[in-house]
Amino acid sequence: MRRRRRVYKHLPCFDALHTVNPAPANPASPYGTLPPASVPASRRPISLPRLREMHLSGEKITMLTAYDATFAAVADAAGVETILVGDSLGMVCQGLSSTVGVTLETMRYHTESVVRGLRRVQGTAWVIGDLPFGSYHESREQALRSATVLMQAGAHMVKLEGGAWLAETVHFLTERAIPVCAHLGLTPQSVHQLGGYKVQGKSSSAAELLKSDALALQAAGAMLLVLEAIPSALGRETTELLTIPTIGIGAGPDCSGQVLVMHDMLGVFPGRKAKFVKDFMQGQTTIAAAICAYIRAVRDKSFPAPEHCF
Ligand code: KIV
């Protein structure tokens, strides 16, 4: 029997590329239970070569954080290319005052939840698992053990925070088939050393250091670089200097892509809004529509606007 194809017309950013073959209709189930996966997706899964291709062709890469199965599935259905299971979950989900208290076991739990949610909807997003504070600092062997936990939880790549001092670790992991995303600028795991969540790379020496760190990490094998809270000019210069894609959060419009914390993007946070955050729920009636609005704004380069930049 031929299966009917369903186009998710209700999601404004859906196009032909994002047409999926749905699983057979299931009886309604409680708590938003997702349908079991049984039919192959017609979308191509996002891969490192695809991200690189997007970077080279100037197509903006979209990334959102997700910490659970349902939000991951909704973000994937909206067409986001990459999902970061960020250690920001410590603040967003656990109520911690920083990401320093997040453990590897917690990251494993949330990575598994996200990956389970994606598998159930034949998701195609590239999943990045964040290595938490203290899980890669001791030695490259410790980093390998920690990264293995997240890769076996279903992540496609791990992220770690820090500069050239991590080059040996990045090399060790990538040699062992663990793709690595680096993270420079405001690195929240260093909040106590940085003296708060402050814009980084403002002086010319700090900017030069960031660029040389970025080159060292790329040479060591990093395949993606998150740049957080730096002047837009530095975001642009770093992106132009590298061959790997950069993903900005408060790093200006010229990075290869953008990332936001899901809850920030939906305007769900109790405190003061960071300058680089935009509430995409404004003017939308559903979370799916807000995610689509974010994706569209990144792709058409209307986000980040000057008021979101340093
Ligand atoms: O943990 C996280 O969510 C992050 C992003 C803010 C880049 O590192």
- Are 75 and 67 in contact, with CB atoms under 8 Å apart? no
pLDDT classification of 13: cutoffs 50, 70, 90: low
Taking the C-alpha atoms of residue 72 and residue 81, their distance in angstroms, rounded to an integer, is 11
* Pocket probe mutation, ligand 1, options 159, 191, 230, max atoms within 8 Å of Cβ: 159
Distance CA 186, CA 161 (A): 9
**Rounded average pLDDT over 161-179:** 98
- Give yes or no for a contact between 214 and 234, defined as CB atoms under 8 angstroms apart: no
Looking at 36-40, 95-99, 132-136, which range is the least confident one?
36-40
Q: Which of 31-45, 57-71, 120-134, 229-243 has the weakest average pLDDT?
A: 31-45
The encoded tokens of residue 117 equal 């949610």
29-38, 85-94, 235-244, 253-262 — which is least confidently predicted?
29-38
Residue 16 pLDDT grade (very low, low, confident, very high; cuts 50, 70, 90): very low
State which ligand 1 atom lies nearest to the alpha carbon of 226.
Answer: 7
> How many alpha carbons fall within 13 Å on the CB side of residue 94?
19
**Per residue in 22-78, pLDDT tens?**
444 555 667 766 655 444 556 799 999 999 999 999 999 999 999 999 999 999 999
Average pLDDT for 82-107 = 98
**Predicted local confidence at residue 32, as pLDDT:** 67
- Cα-to-centroid distance, 160 and ligand 1 (Å): 10
- 34 has which bridge partners? none
| pLDDT more than 70, % of the chain | 87
Mean pLDDT of the chain: 91
Indicate whether this model's pTM tops 0.75.
yes
Rounded average pLDDT over 154-164: 98
Per-residue pLDDT for 9 more than 80?
no
DSSP calls for 45-111: PP-HHHHHHHHHHTPPEEEEE--SHHHHHHHHHHT-SEEEE-TTHHHHTS--SSGGG--HHHHHHHH
| 307 is a catalytic site residue | no
pLDDT confidence of residue 23: 44
Q: Which atom of ligand 1 is nearest to the CA of 99?
A: 1
Taking CA atoms only, the protein residue closest to ligand 1 atom 2 is: 86
Q: Which residues form the pocket of ligand 1, taking CB atoms under 6 Å from any ligand atom?
A: 65, 84, 86-88, 130, 226, 228, 249, 259, 261
Dist. CA 83 → ligand 1 center (Å):
10
- Provide the residue type at 260 as one letter: L
Summarize the confidence of residues 72-87 as an average pLDDT. Answer: 98
Amino acid in position 270? P
Neighbours of 69 (CB within 10 A): 22
For residue 3, pLDDT over 50 is answered with: no
Q: How far is the CA of 40 from the centre of ligand 1 (A)?
A: 31
Other beta carbons within 10 angstroms of residue 8's beta carbon come to 18
- List CB contacts of 34: < 8 A, sequence separation 6 or more: 69, 70, 73, 117, 120, 121
Task: Cis check for the bond before 24: say yes or no (omega within 30 of 0).
Answer: no
Residue 175: count other Cβ atoms within 10 Å of its Cβ.
12
